[in-house]
């Protein structure tokens, strides 16, 4: 089946064609028609499989039909709640692109930027609101945001929404909506908590699950190497220098470690970008855009950022630190191997992280291939660095100084 076969407006079909999309992915094929028909949906699919378009396309079609059938302004028709600013910006970009030439107006609403321009935008005609809970509740509290005409609620990355403790916020929002509305849950992973959340908020949702036994994209090759914690920076340096054409996204567990790794790479002539929660929104957007344009080919990020990084040509994801929650591994490695592209996920596992590795393997149902290193290969990697004479404690102090300096500038 092709997109041209769906009951979509000419404008929407043209915008889909401009994206180069001819046929729906599995999640799109199974989700578009039920959403068009007004069904509640609980959809689980791997990252990089086209989940955003799976709900954006039918929502835009429904909103366009609603506007054409009514002469007056209808107010916000669709509310999309997401856990991170990056994801809100990504979805806003997708919706805006697909809505070009239609009568549907889209707004992304996040914290970290001035609120007055957002308030001004809310006074104008608006159909789709994509928002993080914090900024939305600020405006609801000021009675500057009205949601009584919303007839479609979307929770994207629903597992992280619950993990970050937004369940009370979600229930609070529902109190502002029409009594009868459509609810859509989309996520790359699912557990019993997500199921209970979904079924507590909706009745008889259609459940769509793609590749339920393996949450990790089959387009990604996985490997792990066992190294000492303090030696990881030497392995990262060698990995990056031996792949001059690669575009590499590195994940650390904390913002301090992200800054520390970035400093370590800079000392061996490997400039990098960082992305973490201590950066303000403009800094984060600038870093993502620079990475997207290829101004730098190495980015060091923390876990929360994993949900908002949609850069199609990331060739490698490196788990510099293994995540403490196994499902975070799925979201991290899902930043590569997107669409039809192949990708590589490489993990550095220190002795203290062996149990985290076992949890990841149990969660995914797959053993990760081990890269065996003999002593000579290990020593060769440690001696690979030319100039990194700074000790671990010095690196930590340097990273703290950078973060404190940024805070003072704010």
Q: Where in the chain are all domains bearing CATH 3.40.50.300?
A: 3-209, 220-409
Contacts of 228 (CB under 8 A, 6+ apart): 350, 351
Give the integer Cα–Cα distance in Å for 83 and 113: 16
Residue 394 has pLDDT above 60, yes or no: no
CATH number of 3-209: 3.40.50.300
Do residues 28 and 57 make contact, with C-beta atoms less than 8 angstroms apart?
A: yes
Give the integer Cα–Cα distance in Å for 341 and 188: 18
What distance lies between CA 251 and its chain's CA centroid? 13
Only one residue has tokens 């003999």, namely 374
Only one residue has tokens 């009868």, namely 180
Do residues 344 and 220 make contact, with C-beta atoms less than 8 angstroms apart?
A: yes
Name the H helices within 19-78: 26-36, 51-69
For 94-125, write each residue's pLDDT tens digit.
999 999 999 899 999 887 777 888 888 888 88
CATH number of 220-409: 3.40.50.300
Residue 261 is predicted with a pLDDT of: 96
Residue 314 has pLDDT above 80, yes or no: yes
For 13-67, write each residue's pLDDT tens digit.
999 999 999 999 999 999 999 999 999 999 887 767 788 999 999 999 999 998 8
Give the integer Cα–Cα distance in Å for 140 and 122: 12
- Highest mean pLDDT pick, 36-40, 212-216, 402-406: 36-40
Tell me the sheet residues that pair with 41.
184, 206
Start-to-end CA distance of the chain, whole Å, equals 52
Give the integer Cα–Cα distance in Å for 107 and 28: 23
Do residues 100 and 15 make contact, with C-beta atoms less than 8 angstroms apart?
A: yes
Give the integer Cα–Cα distance in Å for 91 and 96: 8
């Amino acid at each position: 089946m092709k997109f041209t076969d769906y009951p979509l407006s000419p404008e929407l079909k043209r915008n889909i064609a401009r994206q180069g999309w001819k046929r729906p992915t599995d999640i799109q094929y199974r989700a578009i028609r039920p959403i068009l028909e007004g069904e509640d949906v609980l959809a689980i699919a791997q990252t990089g499989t086209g989940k955003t378009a799976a709900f954006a396309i039918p929502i835009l079609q429904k909103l366009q039909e609603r506007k054409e059938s009514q002469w007056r302004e209808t107010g916000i028709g669709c509310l999309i709640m997401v856990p991170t600013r990056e994801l809100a910006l990504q979805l806003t970009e997708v919706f805006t692109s697909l809505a070009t030439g239609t009568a549907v107006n889209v707004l992304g609403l996040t914290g970290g930027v001035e609120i007055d321009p957002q308030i001004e935008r809310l006074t104008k005609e608006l159909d789709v609101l994509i928002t993080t809970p914090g900024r939305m509740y600020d405006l609801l509290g000021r009675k500057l945001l009205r949601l009584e005409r919303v007839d479609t609620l979307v929770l994207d990355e629903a597992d992280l929404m619950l993990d970050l403790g937004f369940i009370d916020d979600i229930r609070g929002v529902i109190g502002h909506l029409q009594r009868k509305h459509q609810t859509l849950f989309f996520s790359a992973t699912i557990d019993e908590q997500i199921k209970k959340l979904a079924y507590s908020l909706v009745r008889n949702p259609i459940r769509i699950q793609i590749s339920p036994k393996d949450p990790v994209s089959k387009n990604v090759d996985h490997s792990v190497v066992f190294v000492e914690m303090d030696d990881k920076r030497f392995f990262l340096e060698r990995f990056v220098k031996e792949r001059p054409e690669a575009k590499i996204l590195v994940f650390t567990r904390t913002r301090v470690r992200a800054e520390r790794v970035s400093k370590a790479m800079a000392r061996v002539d490997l400039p990098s970008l960082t992305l973490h929660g201590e950066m303000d929104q403009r800094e984060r957007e600038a870093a993502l855009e620079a990475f997207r344009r290829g101004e730098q080919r190495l980015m060091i990020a923390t876990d929360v950022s994993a949900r908002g990084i949609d850069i199609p040509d990331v060739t490698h994801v490196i788990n510099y630190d293994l995540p403490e929650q196994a499902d975070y591994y799925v979201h991290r490695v899902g930043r590569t191997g997107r669409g039809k592209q192949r990708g590589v996920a490489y993990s550095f596992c220190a002795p203290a992280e062996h149990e985290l590795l076992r949890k990841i393997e149990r969660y995914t149902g797959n053993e990760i291939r081990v890269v065996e290193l003999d002593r000579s290969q290990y020593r060769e990697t440690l001696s690979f660095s030319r100039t990194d004479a700074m000790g671990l404690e010095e690196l930590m102090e340097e990273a703290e100084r950078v973060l404190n300096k940024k805070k003072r500038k704010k």
